[in-house]
Amino acid sequence: MTTFAQRCHTALFSLALIATAAGAADHTHGQHGMALFGGKEGLYASHLPLFHAPHDYQVILRVHVADPATDAAVRARLAGKTALWTVAPEKFELSRLAPESPAPLRRFNADLVQGHFERGGLTQYAHAAIVVDQVILFRQLSPAAKANASASYMQLGAGKQRYLVKYIDSRPDFDHIVAYTAASGAPTAAITLAKPTLRQPSNQALAHALGVPAGAIGGTVYFETDDLK
């Protein structure tokens, strides 16, 4: 005959197993590197996706650094420039950034790296607390082969300094972030243009789709094809 204490221990152990299984079932746990870009008008982080777990999501965040001095310094260093910066965060479940998440992720710690954090980049700000202000995009990528004849880009920002981020909607595909200077009151709608085969669209093609002079395109912040084969 089991004692009350033994029965309680068995019940607690069973609950622990259920909790562990539930945690293990979330295939999105990992270190989710992100491209960091923006400036005084807005700071953004774009998850660097793959077509397999735990990174098979395109996620774009509007963020700020919790420490005001660091936040101002980062924005000043990034503003108007296209040199790549990346976020190397602590491990977490990417699913917690989904709009319907029961345990939404509001902040995480990360190193802010000048360059690619896995390709020789140099940490500029270690263990910075990143606050998630808005989840702009959260969508799972399909692993199935698919070809699209066009490329669509969302616009980030509503002021003068804006960014174009390509929707990843093919396989193979490319991840592309472009800075550009908008005229006052310019529309913020997404743009679509003919898709070159795994090559960056020209500045002229992007400018034509936006209806702006080619000189308004500031250049590429991030471009990647190998991770999206």
What the block records as the tokens of 136 is 């702009």
- Tell me whether residue 22 is in a domain: no
Q: Are residues 136 and 188 in the same domain?
A: no
Alpha carbon distances (Å) from 169 to 131, 145, 146:
28, 10, 8
Return d(Cα 19, Cα 124) in angstroms, integer.
37
- Tell me whether residue 162 is in a domain: yes
SS3 of 203, please? helix
What the block records as the tokens of 25 is 């079932």
Q: Are residues 67 and 108 in the same domain?
A: yes
- Tell me whether residue 2 is in a domain: no
Digit-by-digit pLDDT tens for the chain (229 residues) are: 444 444 443 343 333 333 333 444 489 999 999 999 999 999 999 999 999 999 999 999 999 999 999 999 999 999 989 999 999 999 999 999 999 999 999 999 999 999 999 999 999 999 999 999 999 999 999 999 999 999 999 999 999 999 999 999 999 999 999 999 999 999 999 999 999 888 999 999 999 999 999 999 999 999 999 999 9
Q: How many domains does the chain have?
A: 2
- Tell me whether residue 99 is in a domain: yes
Task: Extract the runs of DSSP E, i.e. beta strands, from the chain.
Answer: 29-30, 34-39, 42-47, 57-65, 85-89, 92-93, 107-114, 122-140, 150-156, 161-166, 175-181, 191-194, 217-224
Contact 164, 155 (CB under 8 A): yes
Q: Are residues 38 and 59 in the same domain?
A: yes
Q: How many CA atoms lie less than 13 Å away from 229 in the CB half-sphere?
A: 2
Q: Are residues 112 and 126 in the same domain?
A: yes
pTM: 0.88
Domain, as residue range, for 220:
144-229
Amino acid at 93: E
Return d(Cα 213, Cα 204) in angstroms, integer.
8
